[in-house]
Amino acid sequence: MEKNEKAVTSMDEPEVHYRGVKTMPLIIGNETFEKLGTIGTSNNLLVYLTTVFNMKSITATTLINIFNGTTNFATLPGAFLCDSYFGRYKTLGFASVSSFLGMLVLTLTAAVSKLHPPHCEKVESDTCSGPTTWQMTFLLSGLGLLVVGAGGIRPCNLAFGADQFNPNTESGKKGINSFFNWYYFTFTFAMMVSLTLIVYVQSDVSWAWGLAIPTLLMLLSCLFFFAGSRIYVKVKPDGSPLTNAARVLTAAAKKRRLKLPEQPWMSLFNHVPKSSINSKLPHSDQFRFLDKAAIVEPEDTINSDGSAANPWRLCSMQQVEEVKCLIRVIPIWASGIIYYVATNQQQTYVVFQALQSNRLLGNTGFKIPAASYSIFAMLSLTIWIPIYDRIVVPTVRRITGKEGGITVLQRIGFGMVLAIITMLISAIIEEKRRTLALRNPMGIEPRRGAISSLSGFWLVPQLTLIGFSEAFTVIGQVEFYYKQFPENMRSIGGSFLFIGFAASSYLSGFLVSFVHHLTSGSKMGDWLPEDLNKGRLDYFYYLVAAMGVINLAYFLVCANWYKYKEHSTSTAFEVGMEDIQSEKTLV
């Protein structure tokens, strides 16, 4: 492993001292405590809003969907500000403090009685007092601070950790791989602890303590992060790649009336600066109207170094092809929005199902917290990934001859099929749960209704299957965005995943509200009432499954049309990271 490796730099740039191994305990410690804090706060937030703030299920679910959507969407402006103005160190520092303050505000809403409505033990939620305008404002301010924190942390933390290693040395490459392994280990560890210990403290001990613990952990995360300020490699921001995309679109619009040449690869402007970190892309026939941005007119001026004097009027063919990569990805990205609607239901309504199921653990008398059942989705994903990587891929590779066994788009599509099956199984289990609750109830859940005698462990199959689905589709999308985006757009590519989460959360919130209002006045009755036994959640699950089938058909059309970006002989990761590090400028 590397110690204090130095990078060769130009005369006008300071020498880079990579302290990789020395910074790892600080960065990994920061990551661990940050995830324990934020995940520990957000995982049980749905139950918190319905039990402490006396919100109705529909209101709480909609608020959570909007919060999750805004949190994920914030990664795009976060990545833009990080790349263009502040750099990763300043962005992460500011975002970490914001997350801590947000969790501190949430803790105060639980600890201070005047900051939440009075406790309500009544069976009917309609008779419980809701939050006042001031209480709601204070709560939303805490959630807003968490949104700001997530917007800065999520797109920057992985890249900042990789910045601390020299990718031009063997020890540096091993250090980066080790960092990624530890990063995902801490994520899994944080999920396990949050979904068990922290959720238990929140649900069965005290909400004040249950939120104070993650807040304290987030404070430790901030302390770990700033403790390494003197030894971090801090990369100077060099501008957002979205600016180049805007230039191509603007130049193409200005030259829209020009005629395209018959052999564009021979006559179009194609200056590639020496400092470019992107691999050279060949000309493609898709979206040819963008090629007009690279047509040289008599009034276009070329600088002595070969670059365009006015980059908003003349762009290189390389820049045009990079924008084409971005546009080609968008239809595939859009298919993920409907897919994530299914995963959202396994994070929201499955909690309400658990609340009205038998959560007793055998004859011990211990009642499993409703939010803890989500751990089975994480367990199945964690167990399946090494099996898929070490057993399934090599076996399929021998059959297909493909490096990954199957293509990335095939992997994404198979996960979508599993999501459809998940929703069908969820509907069947919900129908069984509801039937037993009406025929053979074993108690009453306050402000909801009868508790079904069906064991909560019957929710495990659908949660396990959605975990398998995410192992195919979500990880497949991460790989797809990483490989198909130009090297300088990979932070934006990482944001694409979270923007898909955001759009799906908004859509899921709209769908829940729409179905609730549409069915509440029908003869069949409200599908999504407070008491699930009086509704038809199973019909809602069938609706989501039907949407998944239509979305799968759309995805197959897009996948058949899609043209993969050509790769060089070196791996995309090695080429990208080596070029990025060779051009780094320190603050």
Q: For the purposes of burial, counting CB atoms within 10 Å of the CB of 242, is it exposed (0-12), middle (13-18) or buried (19 or more)?
A: middle
Residues 281, 340, single domain; the answer is no
Report whether 319 contacts 248 (CB < 8 A): yes
Distance (Å, rounded) from C-alpha 48 to C-alpha 51?
Answer: 5
Distance (Å, rounded) from C-alpha 25 to C-alpha 318?
Answer: 40
On whether residue 14 sits in a domain, the answer given is no
Q: Which amino acid is at 542?
A: Y
Residues 115, 209, single domain; the answer is yes
Q: Dihedral angle at the C-alpha atoms of 504, 505, 507, 510, nearest 10 degrees?
A: 170
Last residue of a domain, one of 228, 262, 283: 228
Q: Hey, what are 149's tokens?
A: 């924190």
Last residue of a domain, one of 181, 202, 228: 228
The segment with the largest mean pLDDT, out of 69-78, 321-330, 414-423, is 414-423
Residue range 310-314: mean pLDDT, rounded: 90
Residues 63, 164, single domain; the answer is yes
Say if residue 354's pLDDT is above 50.
yes
Half-sphere exposure of 148 (CA within 13 A, CB side): 18
Distance (Å, rounded) from C-alpha 123 to C-alpha 449?
Answer: 7
Residue (of 469, 437, 467) closest to 454 by Cα position:
437
Say if residue 330's pLDDT is above 60.
yes
Distance (Å, rounded) from C-alpha 502 to C-alpha 340?
Answer: 9
The pTM for the full model equals 0.75
Q: 3-state class of 262 per DSSP? A: coil
CATH number, position 495: 1.20.1250.20
Last residue of a domain, one of 319, 341, 367: 319
Residues 309, 197, single domain; the answer is no
Per-residue confidence (pLDDT) for residue 485, from 0 to 100:
79
Distance (Å, rounded) from C-alpha 461 to C-alpha 481?
Answer: 30
Beta bridge partners of 360: 367
On whether residue 311 sits in a domain, the answer given is yes
Say if residue 148's pLDDT is above 70.
yes
Residues 44, 176, single domain; the answer is yes
Residues 272, 351, single domain; the answer is no
Residue range 184-194: mean pLDDT, rounded: 72
pLDDT confidence of 585, banded at 50, 70, 90? very low
Residue range 136-143: mean pLDDT, rounded: 93
Q: 3-state class of 263 per DSSP? A: coil
On whether residue 297 sits in a domain, the answer given is yes
Which of 337 and 200 is assigned the larger pLDDT?
337
Strands 444-445 and 5-7: what pairing? unpaired
Per-residue confidence (pLDDT) for residue 57, from 0 to 100:
81
Which of 381 and 508 is assigned the larger pLDDT?
508
Per-residue confidence (pLDDT) for residue 406, from 0 to 100:
82
Per-residue confidence (pLDDT) for residue 185, from 0 to 100:
63
Residues 260, 386, single domain; the answer is no
Residues whose CB falls within 8 Å of the CB of residue 557, separated by 6 or more in sequence, listed in order: none
Q: Which amino acid is at 505?
A: S
In this structure, of 123-132, 242-251, 307-316, the range with the lowest mean pLDDT score is 123-132
Per-residue confidence (pLDDT) for residue 67, from 0 to 100:
87
Residues of 62-96 as b/e, b for ≥16 C-beta within 10 angstroms?
A: bbbbbbbbbbbbbbbebbbbbbeebbbbbbbbbbb
pLDDT confidence of 46, banded at 50, 70, 90? confident
Q: Hey, what are 229's tokens?
A: 């300020």
Per-residue confidence (pLDDT) for residue 55, from 0 to 100:
87
Q: 3-state class of 138 per DSSP? A: helix
Residues 315, 369, single domain; the answer is no
Percent of the chain with pLDDT strictly greater than 90: 21
On whether residue 469 sits in a domain, the answer given is yes
Distance (Å, rounded) from C-alpha 334 to C-alpha 400?
Answer: 28
Q: Hey, what are 89's tokens?
A: 């160190």
Report whether 459 contacts 353 (CB < 8 A): yes
Through-space distance between the first and last CA atoms of the chain, rounded to whole angstroms: 26
Cα–Cα distances in angstroms (integers) from residue 502 to residues 63, 109, 339, 499, 506, in the given order: 13, 26, 12, 5, 6
Residue range 159-177: mean pLDDT, rounded: 71
Residue (of 67, 47, 32) closest to 506 by Cα position:
67
Residue range 288-304: mean pLDDT, rounded: 88
Per-residue confidence (pLDDT) for residue 414, from 0 to 100:
93
In this structure, of 50-54, 70-74, 271-275, 552-556, the range with the lowest mean pLDDT score is 271-275
Report whether 427 contacts 449 (CB < 8 A): no
On whether residue 295 sits in a domain, the answer given is yes
Report whether 339 contacts 419 (CB < 8 A): yes
In this structure, of 71-75, 219-223, 452-456, 489-493, the range with the lowest mean pLDDT score is 489-493
Domain count, the chain: 3
The segment with the largest mean pLDDT, out of 134-138, 169-173, 185-189, 212-216, is 134-138
Residue range 287-310: mean pLDDT, rounded: 88
What are the tens digits of pLDDT across the range 235-262? 777 666 778 889 999 999 999 888 888 7
Distance (Å, rounded) from C-alpha 146 to C-alpha 96?
Answer: 9
Report whether 283 contacts 237 (CB < 8 A): no
Q: For the purposes of burial, counting CB atoms within 10 Å of the CB of 155, is it exposed (0-12), middle (13-18) or buried (19 or more)?
A: buried
pLDDT confidence of 8, banded at 50, 70, 90? very low
Q: Hey, what are 527's tokens?
A: 């599908």
In this structure, of 27-36, 93-102, 141-150, 571-580, the range with the lowest mean pLDDT score is 571-580
pLDDT averaged over every residue in the chain = 81
Residue given tokens 């998944």 in the structure block: 548
Residues 312, 329, single domain; the answer is no
Cα–Cα distances in angstroms (integers) from residue 58 to residues 49, 123, 137, 423, 530, in the given order: 11, 17, 19, 20, 8
Residues 167, 221, single domain; the answer is yes
Q: Hey, what are 524's tokens?
A: 């069949």
- For the chain, the residue count is 587
What single DSSP character describes residue 235?
B
Report whether 16 contacts 233 (CB < 8 A): yes
Distance (Å, rounded) from C-alpha 276 to C-alpha 273?
Answer: 6
Distance (Å, rounded) from C-alpha 204 to C-alpha 492?
Answer: 41
Residue given tokens 């091993």 in the structure block: 174
What are the tens digits of pLDDT across the range 406-461? 888 998 999 999 999 999 999 999 999 999 999 888 888 877 888 888 998 999 99
Q: Hey, what are 200's tokens?
A: 């238990």
Cα–Cα distances in angstroms (integers) from residue 454 to residues 196, 204, 367, in the given order: 22, 22, 14
Q: Hey, what are 150's tokens?
A: 């997530």
Per-residue confidence (pLDDT) for residue 12, from 0 to 100:
47
On whether residue 587 sits in a domain, the answer given is no
Element (H, E) at 250: helix 241-254
On whether residue 4 sits in a domain, the answer given is no
Q: The domain containing residue 469 runs over which residues?
A: 325-561
Say if residue 300's pLDDT is above 90.
no
Residue given tokens 């709560």 in the structure block: 139
In this structure, of 73-77, 161-165, 246-250, the range with the lowest mean pLDDT score is 161-165
Per-residue confidence (pLDDT) for residue 490, from 0 to 100:
67
Residue range 521-538: mean pLDDT, rounded: 86
Residues 223, 282, single domain; the answer is no
Residue (of 99, 81, 385, 378) closest to 215 by Cα position:
99
Residues 80, 140, single domain; the answer is yes
In this structure, of 146-155, 448-457, 491-500, the range with the lowest mean pLDDT score is 491-500
Report whether 501 contacts 69 (CB < 8 A): yes
